[in-house]
Structure 1
Amino acid sequence: MYRYFIQPIFNKYKGSLVGYEMLIREYVNGHWRLPQCFSAIPKQVQSELLVTVAQKLSRKIGFVYFNLTWEQFLDNEFAQILIKTQKEISPVTLAIEIIEEPVQTNYSFEQIIQQFNFYRQHGVLITLDDVGTGINTLENIQGFLPYIFGLKFPLQNFRAEGRQEQIITELATWKKIADTNNISLVVEGVENEADDQFLDNLEISYRQGYHYGKPRLFE
């Protein structure tokens, strides 16, 4: 059995709830856990759960953020399902987060841009998740910046990799990239008041993490 947990994303300076990230979990042996293989989850199951949650939240939020691997993003069958999903959850907007897992199949730059445009033409927004880690480095994603809606910077990934000392420099760089390209920047992994103050100093509005709300099961 699969269900979505939801975690809020806030605009600190407006004091407003922007949307929720949808985090799929699997119920096994009496506990909710991360699925061992996301690609094994039936696409239609993910879509139906997403529609159910988004429709019930539609009076509260403008966006739902939904994770895909690069391979799932480039899957034309999945794209058609998600376009149909966007129509069903309107006026809520679906924002796809492409995570930093490596692509297992070779795709050309032109094919990727074509897929960006296809989603955008149908009202689905694209965000690149976990920038600065995995394969979502500036070198790899720079050519995609004119086609996307936003970036997400993961404080938790830098900490897990022992790269805390790089956070200030890296985050300042990604903020400049976002500002220059007129795209949004969400900082995730905001755990405490110290993190919150640090982001105040950098004048970054959009935030996500335990300091603002832990993921919770949406019943």
Structure 2
Amino acid sequence: MNTYTYFAQAIVNVATRKVEKYELLLRAWSPQTHEWYLPNSFDISVGMQTRMLKEALKDLEVKRVGINLTPEQFASRGVVQRLARFVAQTPELIELTVELTTAPTLTELSAMAPEYHQHGILIALDDVGSDIDDLDLAAQLAPNVDIFKFALQNLREQGHTDDLLGQMRPWAELAAQHDVQFTVEGVETYTDLQLARQAGATRAQGFFFNHPIAPREQKQRAFAQQISNLNDLI
């Protein structure tokens, strides 16, 4: 039986660079190498997800988080109900977002979005501009979506790095038209951050800020930085 946990990666305000939320990313434990790795399958139960969420929240300073759902999970009313109970029973949680790397159909989203939204759960379309690349479909989905996440890392892997700003702008404009928050992920350099800012992104995520790490380790690093800052003042 696999052992899973969540690693956390910061999503920051483009203007202030302050952490606004975290994406929680699934990792599995390898008994052979004694390290956490990115699993091939993300199809774990919602019960396991909420247990890992509870553990992660203990060590995250900012209690706004996003988790990934499979298309089957997103379309399941049982999953919505389980997440809704978790939100209701977890007062320390400020905001929960479910991220979708596969675009739902308009029928699915129209049916399910109100159920998520009535419990204060936000919906993000992840990997827009690459895995989700149909602007016309996205325009139809946008009224029921809260966040677009544009994936620079996918464009790099696909070799589509010409005119990144030009590739981002249509998605940023679509987000603005529908009052959808626009995040650029895969930000690895200061140049990437500048491109995100020029495109109109309000949030950014990527290795330029931090690599995904276990929330407990993140807490320990933050404490060590606080101590270092205090020592600098002495």
Structure 2 match to 1:7: 9
User: In the alignment, is the contact (CA less than 8 A) between 1:153 and 1:186 conserved in 2?
Assistant: yes
Q: State the partner residue of 2:70.
A: 69
Provide the residue aligned with 2:164 in structure 1: 167
- Paired residues in the alignment total 211
Aligned to 2:49: 46
Q: Which moved more, 1:64-73 or 1:153-162?
A: 64-73
Instruction: Report the AA paired with residue 71 of structure 2.
Output: W
Which moved further from structure 2: 8-17 or 84-93?
84-93
Post-superposition CA distance 1:110-130 (Å, at most 9, x none): 343120110001110001000
SS of residue paired to 2:116: helix
2:14–2:193 CA contact under 8 A, matched in 1 = no
C-alpha displacement of 1:203 = 4.1
* SS of alignment partner, residue 5 of structure 1: strand
1:114 aligns with 2:111: yes
Structure 1: which 5+ residue stretches go unaligned?
none
The 2-side partners of 1:69 and 1:136 are apart by 18
Q: C-alpha deviations, 1:138-165, integer Å up to 9, x for none?
A: 2333221111111000000011011111
> Counterpart of 2:83 in structure 1: which amino acid?
L
Distance 1:137 1:126 in 2: 18
171-180 vs 108-117, greater mean Cα deviation? 108-117
Q: Following TM superposition, by how much is the alpha carbon of 1:166 offset from its aligned partner in structure 2, in angstroms?
A: 4.7
Structure 2 distance, partners of 1:76, 1:55, is 27
RMSD: 1.9
Amino acid aligned to 2:85: K
CA deviation after TM superposition for structure 1 residue 62, in Å: 4.7
Query: TM-score scaled to structure 2, two decimals?
Result: 0.83
Contact 1:54–1:92 (8 Å) recurs in 2: no
Q: Which has the larger radius of gyration?
A: 2
SS at match of 1:94: strand
